[in-house]
């Protein structure tokens, strides 16, 4: 191959371009009707009651932490194997980040490690948990819900990797009716998604929050736009229908942000959403082919059980000589990537006392992981080229 193959890439069609240019020619670049249309369509796709579109996934995490009441000293647990934004959102609000190790079988936050951490402190010490559907493998949110309820904690699911992902809780794996979609609002209090171009739906930048909680939903709408509301029912200085209230009147009720999505981004997201199922099918087909190719070799893969509908944002392999393979693939123009450097080892988090050795499973995983190209327009020839070169390296 003389072109380079990235690990992830957006797919923009002529229909996407038409959808965006129609908005550009229309009256609303932002704060128009495409936002609510995209929110409704996305909520329907995920199976949640409410959705709030925001500027990006990080803004979604920040607003969720605000809405959940994270403030100075609030203690929240998350995983080291994630993009740092999953932890940073706690810091934006002045909260304290606690990590717990991952399960080596899934690379997801290990519920037993979380339980142990909770047991080591008095009830009320922690406020919430942010599990991450890392790589697209859905966290068993039913088990986390049970644990969270035992300790009175909220759950914020970072579903950036898993739109369309699903799982059947292990208690009732016999009844497919109980299948849960990531972020469907039935288990986690809030879930967030990103529309960065490497994610399933590309909007340039963009994010979404889903929930079934009406109070959180209304609060998030206000926080997204400075903390300002003009809704007659929500005003504090006037009763609804008060003739003294001018049409211009609105209230800044708390300190929020401008974290809005634009209408042309919403139109792009909406257009992409119409293809999201076929794009997910293609991701899964690519994963099956990698699974087959590496079975019985020294390349370790995580193959989920049938009860798990993996969404494959990433396809991660684990090998002994990860740096050697990374460098070799670069010489073949295959831009494999590492997800992730454990967040607790980042210089910013080391200042809080986290250090190498704190989370052995996460660190062992990090030492061996490499994400291979995984995106819907990856061709069969390109994938075969990737497989051939990985196998050539590990067998040499």
Between 269 and 304, CB nearer to ligand PLP: 269
Q: What distance in Å separates the CA atoms of residue 310 and residue 304, rounded to the nearest whole number? A: 7
Between 194 and 211, CB nearer to ligand PLP: 194
Residue 190 and residue 153 in contact, taking contact as beta carbons nearer than 8 Å: no
Between 160 and 293, CB nearer to ligand PLP: 160
Between 92 and 238, CB nearer to ligand PLP: 92
The least CB distance from residue 173 to ligand PLP, in Å, is: 27
Enter the tokens of residue 300. 């370790």
Closest CA to 137 of 82, 63, 213, 205: 82
Enter the tokens of residue 178. 């109980």
Between 98 and 393, CB nearer to ligand PLP: 98
Give Cβ neighbours of residue 104 (< 8 Å, ≥ 6 apart): 361, 364, 365
The least CB distance from residue 370 to ligand PLP, in Å, is: 17
Q: What distance in Å separates the CA atoms of residue 389 and residue 353, rounded to the nearest whole number? A: 40
Between 108 and 390, CB nearer to ligand PLP: 108
The least CB distance from residue 328 to ligand PLP, in Å, is: 26
Between 270 and 332, CB nearer to ligand PLP: 270
Give Cβ neighbours of residue 152 (< 8 Å, ≥ 6 apart): 123, 124
Q: What distance in Å separates the CA atoms of residue 115 and residue 150, rounded to the nearest whole number? A: 10
Enter the tokens of residue 155. 């759950």
The least CB distance from residue 81 to ligand PLP, in Å, is: 10
Q: What distance in Å separates the CA atoms of residue 358 and residue 101, rounded to the nearest whole number? A: 8
Q: What distance in Å separates the CA atoms of residue 370 and residue 290, rounded to the nearest whole number? A: 13
The least CB distance from residue 357 to ligand PLP, in Å, is: 24
Closest CA to 265 of 26, 9, 29, 61: 29
Residue number with the shortest CB distance to ligand PLP? Answer: 57
Q: Mapping DSSP to helix (H, G, I), strand (E, B) and coil, where does residue 81 land?
A: coil
The least CB distance from residue 360 to ligand PLP, in Å, is: 22
The least CB distance from residue 160 to ligand PLP, in Å, is: 4
Residue ranges binding ligand PLP (CB under 6 A): 56-58, 82-83, 85-86, 132, 158, 160-161, 194, 196, 207
For residue 357, the number of C-alpha atoms closer than 13 Å in the C-beta half-sphere is 2
């Amino acid at each position: 191959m003389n072109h380079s193959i990235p690990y992830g890439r957006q797919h923009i069609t002529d229909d996407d371009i038409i959808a965006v240019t129609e908005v550009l020619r229309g009256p609303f670049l932002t704060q128009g009707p495409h936002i609510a249309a995209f929110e409704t369509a996305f909520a329907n796709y995920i199976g949640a009651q409410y959705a709030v579109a925001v500027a990006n996934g990080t803004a979604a995490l920040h607003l969720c932490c605000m809405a959940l009441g994270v403030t100075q000293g609030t203690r929240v647990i998350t995983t080291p194997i994630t993009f740092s934004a999953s932890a940073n959102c706690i810091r934006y609000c002045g909260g304290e980040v606690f990590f717990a190790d991952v399960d080596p079988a899934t690379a997801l936050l290990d519920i037993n490690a979380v339980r142990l951490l909770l047991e080591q402190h008095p009830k009320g010490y922690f406020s919430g948990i942010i599990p991450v559907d890392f790589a697209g493998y859905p966290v068993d949110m039913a088990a986390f819900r049970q644990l969270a309820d035992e300790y009175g904690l909220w759950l914020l699911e970072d579903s950036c990797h898993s739109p369309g992902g699903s799982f059947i809780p292990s208690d009732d794996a016999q009844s497919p009716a109980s299948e849960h979609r990531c972020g469907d609002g039935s288990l986690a209090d809030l879930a967030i998604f990103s529309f960065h171009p490497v994610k399933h739906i590309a909007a340039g930048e963009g994010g979404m929050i889903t929930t079934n909680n009406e109070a959180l939903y209304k609060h998030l709408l206000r926080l997204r736009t400075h903390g300002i509301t003009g809704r007659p029912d929500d005003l504090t200085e006037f009763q609804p229908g008060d003739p003294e209230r001018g049409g211009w009147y609105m209230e800044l009720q708390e300190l929020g942000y401008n974290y809005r999505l634009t209408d042309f981004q919403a139109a792009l997201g909406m257009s992409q959403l119409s293809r999201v199922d076929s794009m997910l099918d293609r991701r899964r087909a690519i994963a099956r082919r990698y699974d087959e190719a590496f079975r019985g070799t020294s390349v370790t893969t995580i193959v989920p059980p049938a009860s798990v509908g993996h969404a494959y944002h990433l396809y991660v392999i684990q090998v002994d000589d990860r740096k050697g393979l990374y460098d070799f693939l670069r010489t073949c123009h295959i831009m494999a990537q590492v997800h992730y450097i454990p967040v607790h080892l980042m210089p910013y988090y080391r200042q809080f006392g986290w250090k190498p050795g704190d989370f052995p499973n996460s660190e062992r995983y990090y030492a061996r992981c490499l994400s291979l190209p995984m995106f819907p327009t990856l061709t069969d020839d390109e994938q075969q080229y990737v497989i051939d070169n990985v196998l050539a390296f590990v067998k040499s």
